[in-house]
Every structure is written in structure tokens, then in C-alpha cells.
Amino acid sequence: MAQPKKTLSPPGTDLIRRELRELERILREQSRSEVRLLMEVADHILESGGKRFRPAVLLLSAKLCGYSGPRAVAYAAAVEYAHTSTLLHDDVVDEALTRRGRPSANGIWGNQASVLVGDYLLFRAFYLLIENEDPRIMKLVNSVATQMAEGEAFQLTRKRNVKLSEAEYFRIITDKTAKLISISCRIGAILGRATAKREHALGEYGFHLGLAFQLKDDALDYAGDERAWGKKVGQDFSEGKMTLPLIWAFRNSSAADRKKLARLLAKPKRKAGDFKTALAFILRHGGLDYALAKARSHAGRAKAQLQVFPDSPPKQALLDLADFVVARSV
Amino acid sequence: MAQPKKTLSPPGTDLIRRELRELERILREQSRSEVRLLMEVADHILESGGKRFRPAVLLLSAKLCGYSGPRAVAYAAAVEYAHTSTLLHDDVVDEALTRRGRPSANGIWGNQASVLVGDYLLFRAFYLLIENEDPRIMKLVNSVATQMAEGEAFQLTRKRNVKLSEAEYFRIITDKTAKLISISCRIGAILGRATAKREHALGEYGFHLGLAFQLKDDALDYAGDERAWGKKVGQDFSEGKMTLPLIWAFRNSSAADRKKLARLLAKPKRKAGDFKTALAFILRHGGLDYALAKARSHAGRAKAQLQVFPDSPPKQALLDLADFVVARSV
């Protein structure tokens, strides 16, 4: 498996370079299987441009709380496996043929392989969790994994529903993104035996960071620079997913405009021209500005949580990370 | 959720009637979700004629080893959830539109729901495992779950491969069936604090019982009485799965016959007439007799393992269960 192609650019990466290298080794080693199909698909998805975002926040959180031992990397690998497993299963759910600008696993090997390799990686995540024998961390991860499945199922039932509310949208991105990033931070705090207050603050940091991350991601899906971003814009739109830019624009348009848009969204197959129409509609109503303002606001709330910690390089890295998440074009 | 429609008929059921009732309650309670889609699909699959075979062997094994407490039912529910999760994911993998004679979950709700509900039930299984805090049992279940995914992936790569060997077939049914039944028995032994020798014997009992169970299942897929069995014959054949009756017949036929059969199996869509041709071919070469003799042999080996236990009602129930598995027409 090659190194991931896109790595985090903020200064934080320097502090955990050794751990990120060790992480790649563990990810590669633990996904080895005698069944070639499993290894091929696992390698494909693990090396397809993942930013190792969740491992990075876990490792920096552990460092912030004074822990630099080997268990942090093991838990970082578990969290990355769990995340990768959901990507594979989501691609089946979304019927996505590309992921991060490359053909998705189910685009190449079919739904079957995506399901089985997703399961396989999930069991590798649990293997690392069980081996490291912390019942609290196991419960946290399993509970969040359950909520992720529930969030994804909820999103599925709301697909192509133009009436998805902002509150429902936030429920979806909370379940599918913010919670896993939040517990990644909390695992770091638990490893560092942080006080309950600090663990809570890190959990809230991760929660708001996760929301900012997903809000920005969903905005990039409309306004990303395809060359820098490395993936095609308009994927959410073509899958019929309502995200905040569209929700906002829809809510703030005239009844006639709403009707026109609803018709566009009801089409089973959407074309490039449809996307351009929707994007123009969003821009006219300030949907992107609104979503990006929300992203900045959550990044700010994330940073505010770190006040309970004295200044240190890992704290600065986490602060920078929150800025990076909303400033990034990738 | 209604009671499962088909229950085990052997006398063993009387010994664990209370526990099986409690099991239904736990299965119903633990799969409750705020997301309606999840509950609907979970209910559909949990009540669609499951025999609760794995829970029954776990509960009887625990009783044989002197344990009748509440943890046996919790573990029985965990094992049933894990099994049910694999059924849902397998239906996506097999592209099966029916299961146990009823429309399969993915036939009704689509692949997406099958994947998500499979994940959801898996996390409920882990929830019960984590709550009951036995690291050895967690490791056993997770390790077998990993092997089940590997077995299923291996089977996927061998689909429509007429050259599948008997050894490869046994590898597949070991991974996908025998191992989970084997650890169901071992969990019972662990709960009863059985000696290592007895735990091993129960594990071997379950292993051979599982092989006998799957061999018989695969034979029924060719020779089952559809009305009694409640499902259509020929499903494995139409999905391109090579099972022992066909493997044996293929190995023992003339080169000309083999060629004819290979052509039949290579067809992307198989018709009812094709199934009749294959069945006649199997009968002519004694493929069913051979597979059923193997099933009986493994049932016998299962029973022999129980010699280390003194006579008791649960022991008798497990002995009867081994006979039942090969004698059943359902």
C-alpha cells in the first residue's frame, strides 16, 4: 500500500509524523488476508487519498493530554478502519461509482465486494478495540457506529426529499460525521487520563470540528475546484442528497422558484445542466455563503472549547486544524 | 415482532422454552430504533422463519455445563444478531430476491437497507458482547465474524467456477456456518466454567454439527419438499453456487458430461429447465447420496464428542439435535 496521496497540510502533522508512519504500517499489516479479493479492495480504499483526518485528531488530542504511547496509534487505526468501512458501505447505499475522484470500490468490484470488505475492515477495527481492552472506549465506538448506521438510514429515507429541514440536515451530519470525530478526540483524552472536564471539552471540540468539516465538504461539492480538490463537484446533487446550500436556497426562494427546483430534484437522472441550474439558484439565494458561515461558526466554537487547556504545540495544532478545515480547498 | 414461524422440533426445545421466550423479548427490545426503516427491516428479517438454531445450541450447551443464568440469553441474542446481519449482507452479495421462501429484505427495500440494517444488527450484537464484558468471548466472536467475511469473499471469487474442489467447498462452509455454531457451543461452555477438555469437546461438537447442518441445507436446495421446507429449491444453483452434490457429480462424470454441465453453469441466467437437467445429472452420479452420507458422518462425529459428558437431559437434547439436523425436511 502506498502512502496516502493527500496528507494534512497544517503544522500539526509535524508533531505526529512518527505516529502517522506507524499508523500506515498497522493499517497495512492488519488488513492482510489470505483472500486476495479482500486485500485488493482494502488496499484500494485505504490508499485512495484518505486524509487520515480522524487518526490525526485522535493523536493530537492524546498528545495534548500527555499521552504518546503505542495505544494511540492502535486506536487511530481502529477509528480509520471503522471510517473506511462506512465509506465502503455508503458507496453501496449511495450507488456511487466514484469516490475521491477515483472509481469507487463498488464501481470496480461491485456491491458484493464493498459489503464484504466493509465488514472485514469493521472486524479489524473491533479486533484492535478488543485487544486494547478498554471497555469505555469500546462502548463509545460501538455506540457511535450504531448511530452512524441510524443516521445513514435516516438520510436514505429522506433522499430526494426537497423538504428536508436544516434541523434534519444537522441531525444527519451529526450522526454520520461529527460523532466519530468527537469520540476520536475523547479517546485521546481517555488515553491521557484527562479530567472529566477536559475530556468533555475535547469531545465538544471534535463535535464542532466535525460539523465544520462536513459543512465545508458539502459546500465544496458545489463550489470545489475540481483540480485541487481531486474529485468531481455535484456528486451529492446527482445522488439526490439535500445539503445545506440547497436547503437554505430552497427555503428562501419564491413559491414559483421552489416549484421549479422541486421538479428538477424529482428527476430520477440528473444531468450536468441540471447541476448548473441548481448551483445558480443556490448562488442567487446565498446558500453557499450561509453554509460556509455556519462552517466558520462551528470551527470557532470548536476552538473556544480548547480554552481549558494551557498553551502547547498540540493545542496550537488543533486550533490550526479548525481553521484549516474551513479554509481548505481539498 | 411475531414469534418465529418455524421452531426446532426436537425435545431439546422443552428444556429452554423460558430462555427462548426471553430471547425473543431481547431481540425485539434491542433492535428498537427511532429510525423506522431500520426497525421495519430488522423485524422483517428477525421474524422471517428463523429457527433460532444458534441460540438453541448455545443455551443447551450452557445448560449441559451447569449454567442457566441470564448471560446465556444475552449471548444467544448477540449470536443471533450476528448471524442475521450476515444473512442481510449475504443477500446483497448473492443478489438474492428471496430468503426462506419470502421476499428478501433487499428484494423489498433494496441493497441499501440490507447493508445498513445488517450493520445496525451487528452493532447491537457487539453492544451485548461489550456489556457482558468477557474479553475471551468477544475475541472468539470477532475472530469468527472476520473469518465469515473472508469465507464469503472467497466464495464470491469462486462463483460459477465448476472446478471448485471438495476441499474448497468444505473451507467455505466451515467459515460461513460451522465456526459460528462451534463458538455458540463454546460460549455455553465458558459460561458454565467447563474444563478446557469439555469446552474443546463442545466446540468440536458444534463444528461437526455446523458442517452437517450446512451439508443438509445444501442437499435440501436440490431435493427439499418445497411445501414442508417453505422455500424454493434451486436457489444456490440459480445463484451459481457450487455445492457438494454438484461437485461430486461433476468429478464423477465423463469428460463429455462435464463439458455439457460446464456450459450449463456458465450461462449468466439459469432457467427452471436447467435446474432439472442439473438435478438429473446429480442423481445419476449419486451426488445427493454422497452429500447426505457426509452430513450423517459429521452428525455422528458431533455426537461422539459428547462422550466426555455424563448423561443428562441437555446432553440428550444435543444428541437428538445432531440427528434432527440430518433428518429434517425443513
Per-residue pLDDT tens over the stretch B135-168: 999 999 999 999 999 999 998 888 888 889 999 9
pLDDT(A200) > 70: yes
C-alpha angle A211/A161/B90, rounded to 5°?
Answer: 80
- Do A288 and A188 contact (CB within 8 A), yes or no? no
Which amino acid appears at position B258 of this protein?
A: R
Q: Is any Cβ of chain B less than 8 angstroms from the Cβ of A330? A: no
Q: Which residues are within 8 A (CB) of A263 and not within 5 positions of it... i.e. 6 or more apart?
A: none
Q: Give the residue carrying C-alpha cell 463535535.
A: A207
pLDDT tier at B2, thresholds 50, 70, 90:
very low
**How far is it, in rounded angstroms, from Cα B224 to Cα B231?**
8
> Can you read off the three cell numbers belonging to residue B11?
425435545
Cβ contact, residue pair A146, B120, below 8 Å? yes
CB–CB contact A119 B89 (8 Å)? yes
d(CA A212, CA A225) in angstroms, rounded, equals 19
Tally the C-alpha atoms within 13 A of residue B176's C-alpha that lie toward its C-beta. Answer: 24
Neighbour-count burial of B133, counting CB atoms closer than 10 A to its CB (0-12 exposed, 13-18 middle, 19+ buried) = exposed
Q: Read off the C-alpha cell for A311.
A: 498553551
One DSSP character per residue, B160-208 reads: T-TT--HHHHHHHHIIIIIHHHHHHHHHHHHHTT--HHHHHHHHHHHHH
Name every chain B residue with its beta carbon within 8 A of the beta carbon of A123.
Answer: 142, 145-146, 149
Q: Which residues 33-52 of B have a C-beta within 8 angstroms of A?
A: 33-38
Side-chain-facing half-sphere of B117: CA atoms under 13 Å? 32
Q: A-chain residues within 8 Å CB-CB of B149? A: 38, 116-117, 119-120, 123
- Across the interface, whether the CB atoms of A139 and B130 are under 8 A apart is answered yes
The tens digit of pLDDT for each residue in B80-107 reads: 999 999 999 988 876 666 666 667 777 6
Per-residue model confidence (pLDDT) at position A210: 98
Q: Model pTM? A: 0.91
Which ipTM score applies to this complex? 0.91
How many Å apart are CA A120 and CA A127, to the nearest integer? 10
Determine the 3-state secondary structure of A151 from DSSP. Answer: helix
Q: What is the pLDDT of residue B25?
A: 95
Q: Write down all domains in chain A, each with its CATH number in brackets.
A: 12-213 (1.10.600.10)
Beta strand residue intervals within chain A, DSSP E: 98-99, 102-103
Q: Specify the pLDDT at position B9.
A: 55
When scoring A84, A123, A179, A239 by the number of chain B Cβ atoms within 10 A, the one with the most, hence best to mutate, is: A123
Closest CA to A50 of A13, A96, A10, A87: A87
Nearest by CB: A116 against B119, B143, B156: B156
DSSP secondary structure code for residue B99 in this structure:
E
Among A269-273, B110-114, B118-122, B160-164, top mean pLDDT goes to: B118-122
**C-beta separation of B78 from B134 below 8 A:** no
Please give the mean pLDDT across all residues of chain A: 90
pLDDT of residue A91: 81
Q: Do B119 and A89 touch (CB under 8 A)?
A: yes
* DSSP-assigned states of every residue in A186-212: HHHHHHTT--HHHHHHHHHHHHHHHHH
Strand, helix or coil at A8?
coil
The partner residue sitting opposite A150, judged by closest CB among B95, B120, B143, is B120
Q: Do A116 and B33 touch (CB under 8 A)?
A: no
B281 within 8 A of B265, measured Cβ to Cβ: no
Least CA distance to A31: which residue of chain B?
A: B146
What is the share, in percent, of chain B residues with pLDDT greater than 70?
Answer: 92
Q: In the prediction, which pLDDT does A5 show?
A: 42
Predicted local confidence at residue A159, as pLDDT:
82
pLDDT band at B227 (very low <50, low <70, confident <90, very high): low
Who contacts A156 (Cβ-Cβ below 8 Å, separation ≥6)? A93, B37, B112, B113, B116
Report the C-alpha gap between B293 and A57 in whole angstroms.
58
Tens-digit pLDDT profile for residues A123-139: 999 999 999 999 999 99
Percent of chain B exceeding pLDDT 90 equals 68
CB contact under 8 A, B156 and A113: yes
**A204 near A175, Cβ under 8 Å?**
no
Shortest CA gap B229–chain A (Å)? 28
